[in-house]
Amino acid sequence: MKLKKEKHIRNEQIVAELNLLKSQISPHFLFNVLNSLYALSLSKSDKTPDVILQLSDILRYSLYETQEREIPVLDEVAIIETYIAIEKMRIPDTASISFNHDAIDQTIKIAPMLLLPLIENAFKHGVDSTVGDSYIHASLSKNENCLVFICENTYKEPKTKTTQVGGIGIQNVRKRLELLYPSRHSLEIEKREGIFKVTLLILL
């Protein structure tokens, strides 16, 4: 009886922690998108109405899809493409952005908001802070029973040193992976010669 009660309490703690992590991720992501929209509105860009519609899709996703434990991975892919489309409107033309996701079908499911923060982190710390040519190259693939996500971007060291590798988005993703996919995932981060690379593996 005591063990059952302790397990119930632990489960409640996990749910509460997951909900907290989700609340930290979504506003952080939306804040950056709103900055992009604000910049377009200042320049009176004709693209502003389209961005507002795209932003509504992102809001819908963050409000409703994140309530589910797992969603079709193609839903996350679609929202990533929407996010990239918004960001590409404000970054230099010299930047190279790509996101490949061949051979991914609707039957594959993952927890929401696991891949999106990794892309958002690449834009925040890569294209935004890199002088001259820069790039973000991401890919999503399925290798047998394993989902593989790779994101590589140019990177410039911040003036203020930090002990954390990556931003708050990556730290939250790492914590959520530990809770949702214990012993079923691998998250590796490499930093070398101005390149930042994230490799995420999830056993399906």
The three-state DSSP-derived secondary structure of 91-127 is CCCCCEEEEECCCCCCCCEECCCCCHHHHHHHHHHHH
Other CB atoms within a 10 A radius of the CB of residue 199 amount to 14
H or E segment to which residue 146 belongs = strand 146-154
* pLDDT of 3: 78
Residue that wins the pLDDT comparison between 153 and 105: 153
Tokens in use for 110? 């993952």
* pLDDT of 101: 94
Contacts of 53 (CB under 8 A, 6+ apart): none
**Across 117-144, average pLDDT:** 84
Calculate helix-pair angle for 168-180, 2-42, nearest 10 degrees: 150
* pLDDT of 166: 62
Q: Is the pLDDT of residue 31 over 80?
A: no
Looking at every residue in the chain, the average pLDDT score rounds to 85
* pLDDT of 41: 85
Tokens in use for 119? 């892309």
pTM of the model: 0.84
